[in-house]
Amino acid sequence: MRPGRQLAVLGLIFVVLYLLVFFSGGASGGLKDRLEPRLGLDLVGGTRLTLEATNTVDGRAPTAENLEEARQIIESRVNAFGVAEAEVVTEGNRNIVISLPGENRDLTEVGSAAELRFRKLLKAADGSGAAAAPAATPAPSGSASPAPSGSATPTPSASAPKATTSPSAGGQGGSAPAPSATPSGSASPSAAAPSPSASAAPVPQSVEEQRKAVEQKVGAAAWAAASGLQGPADLSADPSLAEKLKPFASLTPREVAVLPATMQFNVPQISCAQLDDRPPASISDPNQQVVACEDGAAKYLLDVAKVLGTDVSDANAVLDQTSAWVVSLDFTGDGQEKWTNLTREAFNNEGGACDATALGQDGKCRVAVVLDNEIVSSPEIQGVLTGNSQITGSFNQKDASELAGQLRYGALPLTFEAQEQQNVTATLGASHLRAGLLAAGIGMLLVIIYSFFYYRLLGSVIFLSLILSALLVFGALVVLGRQIGFTLTLAGIAGMIVSLGVAADSFVIYFERLKDEIREGRSPRSAVPRAWIRARRTIISANAITLMSAVVLYIVSVGTVKGFAFALGLATVLDLVVVFLFRHPIMTMFARTRAFLSPRVSGLGRALPARTQQATPRNPRAKEA
């Protein structure tokens, strides 16, 4: 063979690879910047959140189209934070992984469905879950007034309200802003027909089956008592009723979610703590009356949603005239008409739909701004609102910006639950990087020391092969980080350390086969190609098994384990490149040197003396001479 050709091909690969490292797209800055691979959160610090899609039918995975649509919306929300180098990727068939390197922050809200609903408050009741207390009448929490307008006349009127500049939920008239509850995750809008339940729990079982299970849990007496309630139970008038309804206090939020809306509202043992923790999508159907809480103390029976988030064309976080942060809403053409009609109904309390317990301070209906499962604000409508609107509340800039971003980029087509959020400080990340590099260095050093001790001259082949493999892997990491966004993590470093063992195995297989050939009477020069032919198949098989394991692990794994599998597979492939283009050619060149024939220098050990002893009986006269 001509080993120079293989070595020339390897040299060409190095030239092309490092030209990409230094001059490919994304390469900028000084020498250090161009040689720096893309590091993961566990090495530089930051935040990683894994979201799992849960609203699937019969446990089936969501469609690829829905998952990709959700990924794009979540990516837009994350980018709205103004962070740099955010990464949002899908993993498997139901997971989305969000990574913010170099920054620690809570990302759970970006996975909320952000379903906006505008619903009239029909009735109010105590949501504390007290065992014996009459229904409480909560104080009004807000008002509705128009978005600021330069041409509006800032003079309110009782008979014909005009625009003012106070913080509001939009339109005409105004009063104080409402406090805000923390939004929670929810699911995509449901277009299903109305049903007796206010729930669409994302579980494979039907609502009817779940409701029967809840009925069995609380008992027939409690269920009958709850079903017979025509309004919030007055436990002070009938103390025995408190004991009958007591089992409802032990229900989980998921079990509460499958109850009819009237039962959720009328049973005082069902508290806001249970209602607020209901699964996402529990009140997503706009055609159903639902129950939701505000501030964790008052629960409300809400009307069907007549204005949806899809009726909002834009949302922005702005400062109002009192320097308070609000979310300004711009409606679509049809959405503006729906909003005007809704505020007209609320202002006039058409049909007396709003109970006295739910009216505002001025005796007007209130409209709840419902985001996912909770009420963000519930302003009192003091006029027919014909302009753009604002969501008011106890917002700071961060909260208002996040809410605006959720509404601006639309509701998610899937419901997600946070599976894992990991925050790593920059200091801890640097410590992980040092530890990983130290472990890799120690592993390589031990392999090299053992190689020189056992194989002597052949140890130099192992040493050079590991150096070349390391340079190939490093260059590939830099290029892949720029081209496909591959991020090196601590798990990836672990995969590369494991690959050292795979590389060492291929050395042992080849060198021990070489010794066997020499012991059988062949010269080192002829033994090298024969040993290569016999060892090549074993080396390829061993590396193929490792590569297949890495591929399978990459497909089925999530998170950092995926990085481990990718790094292990990459290092294994590049090890094969070095085996074919460097190790075999360099051994062919060594076989032509005198040092290779010396047992002390070559590292072939007892193989060469054994060959000499085998040759003695065949030539007895040579011994006499």
Per the model's pLDDT, the better-predicted residue between 227 and 86 turns out to be: 227
Question: Which pLDDT does position 558 carry in this prediction?
Answer: 65
Query: May I ask the CATH architecture of the domain 46-111+417-421?
Result: 2-Layer Sandwich (3.30)
**Per-residue pLDDT tens over the stretch 439-448:** 878 888 888 8
Question: Which pLDDT does position 13 carry in this prediction?
Answer: 92
Structure tokens at 275: 């209602």
Name every residue whose Cβ is closer than 8 Å to that of residue 394 and which is 6 or more positions away in sequence: 179, 180
Per the model's pLDDT, the better-predicted residue between 540 and 82 turns out to be: 540
Per the model's pLDDT, the better-predicted residue between 110 and 145 turns out to be: 110
If you average pLDDT over every residue of the chain, what do you get?
75
Domain residue extents for the chain: 3-37+425-615, 46-111+417-421, 116-197+283-407
**Per-residue pLDDT tens over the stretch 487-497:** 787 888 888 88
Name every residue whose Cβ is closer than 8 Å to that of residue 620 and which is 6 or more positions away in sequence: none
Determine contact, residues 375/181, Cβ cutoff 8 Å: yes
Phi, psi of 275 (to 5 degrees): -70, -40
Domain 3-37+425-615: give its CATH code.
1.20.1640.10
Question: What span, in angstroms and rounded, lies between the C-alpha atoms of 179 and 377?
Answer: 6
Q: How confident is the model at residue 596 (pLDDT cuts 50, 70, 90)?
A: low
Per the model's pLDDT, the better-predicted residue between 251 and 173 turns out to be: 251
Name which of 116-120, 392-396, 408-412, 419-423 the model is least confident about. Answer: 408-412
Average pLDDT over residues 95-112: 73
Q: How confident is the model at residue 155 (pLDDT cuts 50, 70, 90)?
A: very low
9: Cα separation from own chain's centroid: 42
**Per-residue pLDDT tens over the stretch 179-235:** 333 333 333 333 333 333 333 334 345 778 888 889 889 899 889 988 888 888 777
Average pLDDT over residues 522-532: 82
**Per-residue pLDDT tens over the stretch 132-146:** 444 444 444 444 444
First-residue to last-residue Cα distance in the chain: 37
Over 80: is that where the pLDDT of 438 sits?
yes
Name the one residue in this structure whose structure tokens are 């339109």: 171
**Beta strands 46-53; 95-101: pairing state:** antiparallel
Please tell me the pTM assigned to this model.
0.50
Over 70: is that where the pLDDT of 597 sits?
no
Over 50: is that where the pLDDT of 152 sits?
no
Question: Which pLDDT does position 614 carry in this prediction?
Answer: 46
Over 50: is that where the pLDDT of 147 sits?
no
Question: Which pLDDT does position 426 carry in this prediction?
Answer: 64
**Per-residue pLDDT tens over the stretch 567-585:** 899 989 988 898 888 888 8
Q: Which fold has domain 116-197+283-407?
A: Gyrase A; domain 2 (3.30.1360)
Q: How confident is the model at residue 16 (pLDDT cuts 50, 70, 90)?
A: very high
Name the one residue in this structure whose structure tokens are 């939020």: 253
Residue 416 DSSP symbol: E
Over 70: is that where the pLDDT of 534 sits?
yes
Among candidate residues 495, 592, 615, 601, the one with its CA nearest the CA of residue 553: 495
Torsion over CA: 76, 81, 83, 88 (sign): negative
Over 80: is that where the pLDDT of 73 sits?
no
Name the one residue in this structure whose structure tokens are 């639902």: 290
Question: What span, in angstroms and rounded, lies between the C-alpha atoms of 46 and 41?
Answer: 5
Per the model's pLDDT, the better-predicted residue between 31 and 463 turns out to be: 463
Over 90: is that where the pLDDT of 12 sits?
yes
